[in-house]
A = this chain, B = another copy of it.
Amino acid sequence: MPKANPTACLLVIGNEVLSGRTRDANIQFLATGLGNLGIPLREVRVIPDVPETIIATVNEVRPKFTYVFTTGGIGPTHDDITSECIAAAFGVPWEHHPVAWPRMQASYKPGEFNAARQRMATMPRGAALIENSISVAPGFQMENVYVMAGVPRIMQSMFEWLAPRLEGGAKIEMRAVHVLGLPEGIIAEGLGEVQKRYPELDLGSYPFYRASGNGVALVAKGPDGEQAEKAIAEVTELIIGFGKVPVPGEPPEV
Contact = CB atoms under 8 A, between A and B. Distances in A.
A244 interface: no
A116 interface: yes
Contact of A184 (B17, B22, B77, B205): B77
Contacts of A165: none
A203 B80 CA distance: 11
Nearest to A195: B78
Contacts of A46: 27, 43-45
B32 A75 contact: no
Interface string A4-29: 00000000100111111111100111
B42 A44 contact: no
A209 interface: yes
A121 to B, nearest CB: 11
Interface stretch (A83-91, A139-147, A186-194): A186-194
A78 B235 CA distance: 14
12 contacts: A16-B206, A17-B28, A19-B35, A21-B250, A22-B206, A23-B27, A44-B44, A44-B46, A76-B188, A77-B192, A116-B184, A117-B188
